[in-house]
Amino acid sequence: MSVGRDEARRLLWQMLRIRRFEEKCAQLYSAGKIRGFLHLYIGEEAIAAGAMPELRDDDSILATYREHGHALARGVAAGAIMAEMFGKREGCSGGRGGSMHLFDVARRFFGGNAIVGGALPMAAGFALSEKLRGTDRVAACFFGEGAMAEGEFHEAANLAALWRLPVLFLCENNLYAMGTALGRSESNVDLCEKAHSYGMHALSVDGMDVLAVRDAARRAADSVRSGEGPMFVEFRTYRFRAHSMFDPELYRDKAEVAEWKKRCPIERFTRDALGRQWLTEPDVAAIEREVAAEIDAAVAFAEAGTWEPVEQLTRDVYARAPGAPETPA
């Protein structure tokens, strides 16, 4: 796999900033700064870091509730994401979405979604819009393997294949739908076979290898963009942390987690980058410093943010009666 110094640096930087951002979120959650649900992307960083650069700025991106990494990789500012976690007005969703509902229209990042599989029919809708307008834009939807047990996946897959919609189905298979192992909820664990059953192209790759992710995403995006219809990509991955901060993890062995951690995508790529002289030890140290400074700045931005006034809490919730004054900004 060919990698230049600039690309190697960018890939490692992106994975590290996602990892450090998530680690900081865990700390802040324990400190009571972040509240509600929090689903960390630790262990799965290679997918967002490797796939997102293969999508164009004018493509539409939809994701799951474990979407911090996708938002960062898409270019949503770390400060805006952290402020959203804090519930501050300066957050990317105005402080109203929190961890599971990051949103940035300017980046065409159309949100995380708290509903399992909820983004899939939306992605089909975005793709239908592009097809009707005759563009070559792609609608890329990130989702977990648990969503494939939901009706939304099958409805979206069927229509996307039937109408040859430009949808890129990006499945992050981390083996557990919350606390349910894949084999306990799916009669057929071959996810590509399910996609094939709808007549769409599908491939499965190692989601812990950022270069394999990059190549698969590039191939799939090119295929969809060329008018060949939807495509399904399975990224075989693993989350190192619990499903959420409330999860006691009684459903998997610590030995299993430890074994998967040996395949850490960041450590793996760092070894390869140093061994093949794509990067040097000073390069890696410099990236760590840059990332640390960015995360510190994001936290400071969130801390300095403002709370939404109580008087505005019904804004965007209730319709304004004709003639009624607007809520003060």
The domains of the chain are located at: 5-312
* Concatenated DSSP letters of 158-223: HHHHHTT--EEEEEEE-SEETTEEHHHH-S---HHHHHHTTT-EEEEEETT-HHHHHHHHHHHHHH
* Concatenated DSSP letters of 304-324: T--PPPGGGTTTTTSPPPTTP
Please state whether the predicted TM-score (pTM) of the whole model is above 0.75.
Answer: yes
**Would you tell me which CATH number, out of the four given (3.40.50.1100, 3.40.50.1860, 3.40.50.970, 1.10.3720.10), belongs to the domain 5-312?**
3.40.50.970
Residue 165 and residue 124 in contact, taking contact as beta carbons nearer than 8 Å? yes
Helix (H, G, I), strand (E, B) or coil at 15: helix
Residue 231, beta-bridge partner list: 168, 201
Quote the pLDDT of residue 149.
Answer: 93
pLDDT in tens, 5-25: 999 999 999 999 999 999 999
CB count in 10 Å sphere of residue 288? 15
Quick one: which of 26, 54, 50 has its CA closest to 265? 50
pLDDT in tens, 94-152: 999 999 999 999 999 998 999 999 999 999 999 999 999 999 999 999 999 999 999 99
